Structure 1
Amino acid sequence: MVSGIDEFRVAVVPASSGSGAGPVASELASDLDRSDGVRVIRYADESTARTAVRRGEVDAVVLVPTGLDAGIRAGRDVTVPVLVEPSGANGHAAVSSVAAAVSEHAARLQAARFAAGTVGGTFDERLAQARTVQKTIPAIAVRSETVNGQSDYLPLGYGYSTPTMLVLFVFINSLAGGAAIVSTRRSGVYARALAAPVRARSLVLGEAVAYLALALVQSALIVGIGSLAFGVSWGDPLAAGLLIAVWALVGTGAGVLSGAFFRTPEQANAIGPALGIGLGMLGGCMWPLAIVPSWLRTMGHAVPQAWAVDAWTELLSRNGGVLDILRELAVLTAFAVALLALASLGLRRRLTSAVVVRRS
């Protein structure tokens, strides 16, 4: 078990004083203690530490090698054993943190050995110099950047999850929101409204506008929070705005169609989100379609989510603009028109048939 949010408990068994323990071995234990993500617990002997890792009291055990100082001074390679419980996931994760600390320690020893062999002086003198230099020289930062690159993947981290979650949840919430239309139908509100000089298509238009407004507000929240809190870049503003608007229309059609299709609010609340998640998985909201087989990628593009994710990939991974996503916008517009048409016809039929039944 991890003792903190990102801290592993690591037992350190020092080399015995009678087997060549020295400052290098002590410094290794100190480096582990100062390492980020590691809390060192010192054990006097290996047997006690092994028992602790078996009981889950620590995540890993580091055995400082016998004769570490002597081996380093003699120019030999020395292995640092790390013990973990085979079935414990935290132990294997802790090994990465331990390996980073040991690598840093080894780099300092290699620098001292190289300097002693080329410039002269004793190993201890050059090791002290390596410690001083390491503290004064800032670490080298490595930044990778692909210039004019073409990627089939959205950027990693929040750059991937935020656009795909916009696509996923605007659609899911619209489907689940159809329960409100079902409740209004069942309560007789529409029937009473149609008793006045109000046409069914006006009610349908009003519902569509309300769902469109909700989809746009939700999209704006995701974009705003993603930009301000997580530094997500949304690419070309005009292209991103058009894509968000068209996707909101797709969600609107799906939401109104849900309200016309389902018979009870419970059906809309239960089936709508499950259907939205399934379509999102098929359309690449959970994983890039570039990594799935070609036949599954083709199936995925039978749903609008895949075209929306493709458009975001073009904008965010290839620095595309409006012209670059025209095909995706056209396909999504076709989906929106089809869904809105089906929703309009379905809801009008529901409303008018309910009025006829009540009047009869």
Structure 2
Amino acid sequence: MKVTAIGLLNLRRVFRDRANIFFVIITPFVMIFVMGLFFGGNQQLRLGVTGASGPLAERLATAFDSGDVRVERVGDADALRADVERGRLHSGVIIPATYDSDVQSGKQSEVRLITRPNDWGAVDLGSWVRTAVQQEAALLKAARFAAQERGDSFDDALRTVATATVPGIDVQVSAGGRAAVPSGLSQFAVSAPPLLLLYTFLTAMTTAIGLVQARTSGVLRRMYASPTPARSLVAGEAAGRLIISLVQGLLIMLGSALLFGVDWGDPLGAAAILLLFSLIGGGAALLLGSMRSEGGALSLGVVLGLGLGALGGTMVPLETFSGTLRTIAMFTPHAWGYEGFAELVRHGAGILDILPQLGVLAAFAAVLFTLGVWRLRRVLVAGN
């Protein structure tokens, strides 16, 4: 009974502060919405074009335009690079000033593509630009051939080739492997799971300062002096860390499902990941709460909460990581939680399909929670 009372007291202590209500409940939903828009697949891709403005260059720029791609004219190459670097444009194309004359004379003309690393939109846009350039190059090559054979001007031959009709070829396309983000998946279903991992762990770490305050103010010592054994105090504080993470995680799950239509997949699998990750965050919070300094605990909690979250793919999609960075990320529990939720939410997996991820998360939870309970009991008995 005392264990439950102490655990619920920790939960009330967190939500008694109105600032915590904002950061624990409201902020995750705002970030899910923002990140969903940022990484969502329904946004129009923006392509900047600069360089020559002759009729052939305009043909090429027009070829880039489509329903999913919006072409924007940019003044010069420096301004184009700046817009791509700042994220205003997904990619940029520089058409050389001699493009028209080079094409008409049969010379090679180099069209340059500028992209930003790790931009998912730039990857799709780069494929589209290369396809458009290849199609335009084939058309221009045919026009030069027609001009040479028939003695027409290049412009007349180009108009003839562009309006010519030829028997169609039936091309059947099949995709191999499995897409990281399946077609039709809601953009909020991509952003919600990693942000759940980020905020439940970050909240557990930052609210650990309440445990430091309870120790340094003598509250725990007075409770220990009462007919409350150390094991009950430690179990109550451990239950409090677990309850805080579980409540926040459930609020994010239910809220994102209602507000953004996020389908979390197999309920058993999602519940298992949330429970194990809450144990991980609770164990880390107990270790942090054993520190002597409130300021040190808060600073370290923020650094670890944000740092491990970023390294584990909760801020930038794990699929964009390079091979080495991806290997390093797998030393964090966040990356394993990310993979587990990705299987459930994106690919319709069940709890049996994510047993490897659950096994690693269980190992993290066992180690951190055991160390946290042991350390807190030792500090409490020693009176530090």
TM-score (norm: length of structure 2): 0.55
1:291 corresponds in structure 2 to: 323
Tell me, yes or no, if the aligned pair for 1:25 and 1:64 is still in contact at 8 Å.
no
Are 1:342 and 2:375 an aligned pair?
no
Q: Give the letter for the 2:294 counterpart.
A: P
State which of 144, 154, 171 in structure 1 corresponds to 2:175.
144
State which of 28, 31, 52 in structure 2 corresponds to 1:12.
52
Whole-Å separation in 2 of the counterparts to 1:241 and 1:201: 27
- Rate the CA distance shift 1:292–1:316 in 2: closer, same or farther, 3 A: farther
Name the SS for the 2:70 alignment partner. Answer: coil
1:38 corresponds in structure 2 to: 72
2:240 corresponds in structure 1 to: 210
Residues 1-360 of structure 1 mapped to structure 2, 5 A cutoff: 6=46, 8=48, 10-14=50-54, 27-28=59-60, 36-39=70-73, 41=75, 53=77, 56=78, 60-67=94-101, 77=106, 79-82=108-111, 102-103=133-134, 105-106=136-137, 124-128=159-163, 144=175, 146=177, 155=181, 163-164=193-194, 166-194=196-224, 197-220=227-250, 223=253, 234-260=264-290, 262-275=291-304, 291-292=323-324, 304-305=333-334, 308=337, 311-312=340-341, 315=344, 320-326=349-355, 328-354=357-383
Q: What is the CA-CA distance between 1:242 and the residue it aligns to? A: 1.1
Q: Give the letter for the 2:298 counterpart.
A: N
Question: Structure 1, unaligned stretches of length 5 or more?
Answer: 15-22, 42-51, 72-76, 134-139
Whole-Å separation in 1 of the counterparts to 2:96 and 2:258: 42
Q: What is the CA-CA distance between 1:263 and the residue it aligns to? A: 0.8
Whole-Å separation in 2 of the counterparts to 1:66 and 1:323: 60
- Rate the CA distance shift 1:337–1:263 in 2: closer, same or farther, 3 A: same
**Per-residue deviation, residues 31-61 of structure 1 (Å, max 9, x unmatched):** 57997243155xxxxxxxxxx65xx356545
2:23 corresponds in structure 1 to: none
**Per-residue deviation, residues 6-42 of structure 1 (Å, max 9, x unmatched):** 453513243xxxxxxxx6566446657997243155x
- Rate the CA distance shift 1:347–1:112 in 2: closer, same or farther, 3 A: same
Whole-Å separation in 2 of the counterparts to 1:58 and 1:225: 40
Whole-Å separation in 2 of the counterparts to 1:322 and 1:248: 17
Question: What number of residue pairs does the alignment pair up?
Answer: 301
Question: Structure 2, unaligned stretches of length 5 or more?
Answer: 1-44, 82-93, 117-121, 150-155
Whole-Å separation in 1 of the counterparts to 2:258 and 2:174: 23
TM-score (norm: length of structure 1): 0.58
Whole-Å separation in 2 of the counterparts to 1:114 and 1:230: 55
- Rate the CA distance shift 1:244–1:338 in 2: closer, same or farther, 3 A: same
Whole-Å separation in 1 of the counterparts to 2:254 and 2:176: 26
Name the SS for the 1:63 alignment partner. Answer: coil
Name the SS for the 1:38 alignment partner. Answer: strand
- Rate the CA distance shift 1:129–1:68 in 2: closer, same or farther, 3 A: farther
- Rate the CA distance shift 1:8–1:331 in 2: closer, same or farther, 3 A: closer
- Rate the CA distance shift 1:231–1:100 in 2: closer, same or farther, 3 A: farther
CA RMSD of aligned residues (A): 5.2
Whole-Å separation in 1 of the counterparts to 2:107 and 2:243: 66
Q: What is the CA-CA distance between 1:215 and the residue it aligns to? A: 1.5
Whole-Å separation in 1 of the counterparts to 2:109 and 2:157: 24
The share of aligned pairs that are identical, in percent, is: 33
Tell me, yes or no, if the aligned pair for 1:284 and 1:300 is still in contact at 8 Å.
no
Q: Give the letter for the 1:344 counterpart.
A: V
Tell me, yes or no, if the aligned pair for 1:12 and 1:29 is still in contact at 8 Å.
no
Q: Which has the larger radius of gyration?
A: 1
Q: What is the CA-CA distance between 1:182 and the residue it aligns to? A: 0.5
Name the SS for the 1:8 alignment partner. Answer: strand
Q: Give the letter for the 1:323 counterpart.
A: L
